Structure 1
């Protein structure tokens, strides 16, 4: 155990992300193991476990921590999710917004990260936006109501298409109505929020109907951009709807552990970590150039 020798190379959020990844991958960790692995004091590890437990992403037990006992069908509501990783989602939104080109046709799925992204995209002129998120549609509607000449007013307001469908706890519209609308359309870029990402399960959600709607989104897009904070790594929902190889770009935050980044590079064309230089992966997916869309 060390105190003065605490590892200065890991920021607190990166260290906690690594701890969470270990817990999820191994089914539990002990404080003593983490102090040796991270070269930090046991007090530092216990503080990190306290923070992660308060966030509701793991459960503290005597001497260590275990994964949170959460069913793969559990779907938190929009308000509950919006309070988590707010800073990371805002960073991701700013980094992803540059991938939307003026005049293009884009799709935004439901979720709190795509909601943050929508707020950045209101400044991109002449977009056609297809979304199954009531919250996302509200963002663009509010932007169009800004008074002419106001400080945030702009030309070329977005054309927004809301798919219709059955509303989920996260305020997404899913089901046959949404699916029928999406599969007749073609998008330059899909910005996709996810419940979970893992090498084995790919992209997943606890909602079966949402999984089907997301499959149609992925099938209709020239380029698939996943926007997800580091806590989504290693999470698996009830239903998978896409393999990692179908993702062209993953935009995430600096809390993603090094080991996760290496695995992602093996399967996804481009990894963008908000606040860090863009990283290439194994090359374009399905002939899609990283600069497209």
Structure 2
């Protein structure tokens, strides 16, 4: 087993059980104590686990912790590419779509620049800029305005008022976290209010979320799991999460990320 595969297996165990012991992992994987400790060090440096005496525990973020756009854009890039590539297949020429703010939806925007006769509603400066850099005469982009969050979403009363009278065929929603108990969540109360309005404006809700979001809970719920018509995620999603989502959402799509060396560079 490669180190990367072993580390992912360790991370899956931490997420499912809440913690692991070095001695148990040594027996399970048949490697040295030092190898397991190095694996835990790697995972801890990524912020995926918290090292404790004799093992590691889950390192879930606080419910109001909100990383910036630049930080989030560097995480799970192959997974986001795979999710966005599949999501782009759901967009037809001549339709109106909304893209919520987020790095996965921003990745999706790059796959949509050549779709003709498209109307795009977004509360993300980054997403609007993607389309601005690849102009088309037959495309309309509406940027809602609003107060800027740490992750560069435009939120608040101005954004809500702009969205309230709009109707779109499909909303592609990026989320901070998801769980069976809390649904799809965000760490920002104003962003939750804005996203609620986006959900209400859409005929179809498509949630784009990589596997690391499972079990993360932000302070405010955007939508319940059952409200999603489609959830597109990646093959790193734990089995129990697949079962829960498959039982609640309209359609669950699992994508297979490419190796980082083959991922698109922008």
CA contact 2:122–2:143 (8 Å) conserved in 1: yes
Find the residue that maps to 1:143 and give its secondary structure: coil
Return the structure number with greater strand share: 2
Whether 1:73 aligns to 2:88 is no
1:219 to 181, 200, 218: 200
Deviations 1:128-151 (A, max 9, x none): 00000000000000011xxxxxxx
2:176 matched residue in structure 1: 195
TM-score between the two structures when normalised by the length of structure 1: 0.80
| Structure 1: unaligned runs, 5 residues or longer | 1-5, 145-154, 277-293
2:215 to 234, 237, 247: 234
Whether 1:209 aligns to 2:190 is yes
Alpha-carbon distance change, 190 to 101 in structure 1, aligned in 2, over 3 angstroms: same
2:117 to 103, 126, 139: 126
Whether 1:96 aligns to 2:87 is yes
Residue 33 of structure 1: how far off its partner (Å): 4.0
| Structure 2: unaligned runs, 5 residues or longer | 258-266
CA distance in structure 2 between the aligned counterparts of 1:189 and 1:265, rounded to whole angstroms: 20
CA contact 1:21–1:234 (8 Å) conserved in 2: no
CA contact 1:17–1:230 (8 Å) conserved in 2: no
How many residues are paired up?
Answer: 255
| Root mean square deviation, CA, Å | 2.2
2:99 matched residue in structure 1: 108
TM-score between the two structures when normalised by the length of structure 2: 0.88
1:265 matched residue in structure 2: 246
1:41 to 30, 35, 38: 30
Whether 1:139 aligns to 2:161 is no
CA contact 1:25–1:234 (8 Å) conserved in 2: no
